[in-house]
């Protein structure tokens, strides 16, 4: 925990000015070792090897009066997901997959490298990306981390589980439903609720049709079964959730996943706020802090020399 405290203090001292652009300026500023929990579905076999569809037991109350069993053909699931074009909204500030050496992309690849190293040492596949309060950059960080991970060969899932204020679909300029809530309420099959972003290994599950009781929906047993099954298909399952201090949703989802990343905004997020948010978590599975909002000049100076074309006839020695 002391390393997180030190990281927060360093983040506060990083810039003198609170103004900045939406860059992840420090990546994972601190890592906290956590015991990985191996959460298995009822059938321990790899979903891709199951001979028949995977069925999740039903629950009472939240589902429609006439319950429909939730079934997923995991063997052919990825190939059945609809492909949508990658046309991000200009205001989304997403990293450009066609220009990988731009500074924001470098920062998120650095974050990706740290997480992949942690994954090589423990059972780590599903993570919650959240913040203490709104407007700190959690959605921005979750999407760009997912895009950076999807640049590798393995499939990655980004799920918008901020059912109270979903915005990820706006960033990708696609429809909000069908999505997570439609699958949980047995309204749509899972393959219709997940899309693949064209030209990438990124799969996206939007929030779906608005519900009146998000926390009750997240408490359904199907959520745990779904996340466990996703862990066997995707290399990373990244969940964008509401802020920790404004609802219990992120706290609940943190108990169902392998770790939590907390996003702080330099010059805005206070030390006490982050400590309160961390104390609200039921389990100490915080993987680290993402410092967002660094000034562009601070980041570009790190890469000026390395990516500057040497003068003709000049030396390439470092």
Cα–Cα separations (whole angstroms), residue 7 to 13, 26, 29, 274: 10, 10, 6, 11
Q: What is the separation of C-alpha 15 from the centre of its chain, rounded to a whole number of angstroms?
A: 26
51, pLDDT greater than 80: no
Most trustworthy range by pLDDT among 48-52, 68-72, 129-133:
129-133
Instruction: State yes or no: pLDDT of 31 exceeds 50.
Output: no
- The pTM score is 0.76
Higher-confidence position of 30 and 74:
74
**Cα angle for residues 127, 251, 277 (degrees, 5° grid):** 100
pLDDT over threshold 90, residue 158? yes
Provide the pLDDT confidence category of residue 313 given band limits of 50, 70 and 90. Answer: very low
Report the alpha-carbon distance of residue 140 to residue 297 in Å, rounded. 20
pLDDT at 69 over 70: no
Count of all residues that appear for the chain in the document: 318
Element (H, E) at 12: helix 2-14
Q: Mean pLDDT check: name the lowest of 13-17, 93-97, 187-191.
A: 13-17
pLDDT at 247 over 60: yes
**Alpha-carbon distance 184 to 116, whole Å?**
30
Report the CATH superfamily, name and number, of domain 2-303: P-loop containing nucleotide triphosphate hydrolases (3.40.50.300)
Q: For 212-227, what is each residue's pLDDT tens digit?
A: 999 999 999 999 999 9
DSSP-derived 3-state class of residue 5 = helix
Mean pLDDT of 279-292: 88
Specify the pLDDT at position 54: 37
Q: Are 236 and 127 in contact (CB under 8 A)?
A: yes
Give me the mean pLDDT over the 289-300 stretch.
71
Mean pLDDT of 197-205: 96
The answer to which of 89-98, 239-248, 270-279, 290-299 has the lowest mean pLDDT is 290-299
pLDDT at position 93: 87
Instruction: Please report the pLDDT score of residue 317 as a whole number.
Output: 38
Q: Is the pLDDT of residue 43 over 90?
A: no
């Amino acid at each position: 925990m002391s390393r997180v405290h030190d990281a927060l203090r360093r983040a506060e001292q990083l810039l003198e000015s609170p103004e900045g652009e939406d860059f992840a300026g420090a990546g994972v500023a601190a890592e906290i070792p956590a015991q990985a929990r191996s959460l298995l579905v009822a059938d321990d076999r790899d979903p891709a090897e199951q001979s028949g569809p995977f069925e999740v037991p039903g629950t009472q109350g939240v589902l429609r009066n006439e319950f429909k069993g939730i079934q997923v053909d995991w063997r052919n699931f990825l190939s059945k997901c609809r492909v949508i074009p990658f046309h991000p909204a200009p205001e989304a500030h997403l990293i450009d997959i066609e220009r990988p050496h731009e500074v924001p992309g470098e920062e998120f690849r650095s974050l990706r490298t740290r997480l992949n190293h942690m994954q090589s040492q423990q059972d780590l596949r599903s993570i919650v990306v959240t913040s203490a309060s709104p407007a700190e950059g959690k959605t921005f960080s979750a999407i760009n981390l997912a895009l950076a991970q999807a640049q590798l060969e393995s499939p990655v899932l980004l799920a918008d589980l901020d059912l109270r204020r979903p915005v990820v679909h706006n960033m990708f300029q696609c429809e909000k439903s069908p999505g997570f809530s439609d699958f949980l309420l047995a309204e749509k099959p899972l393959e219709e609720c997940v899309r693949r972003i064209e030209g990438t290994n990124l799969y996206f599950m939007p929030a779906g049709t608005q519900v009146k009781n998000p926390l009750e929906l997240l408490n359904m047993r199907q959520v745990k079964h779904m996340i466990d099954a996703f862990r066997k298909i995707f290399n990373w399952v990244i969940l964008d959730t509401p802020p920790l201090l404004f609802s219990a949703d992120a706290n609940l989802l943190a108990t169902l996943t392998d770790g939590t990343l907390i996003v702080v905004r330099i010059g805005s997020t206070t030390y006490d706020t982050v400590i309160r948010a961390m104390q609200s978590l039921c389990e100490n599975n915080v993987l680290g802090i993402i410092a967002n909002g660094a000034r562009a000049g601070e980041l570009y100076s790190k890469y000026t020399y390395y990516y500057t074309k040497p003068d003709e006839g000049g030396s390439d020695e470092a």
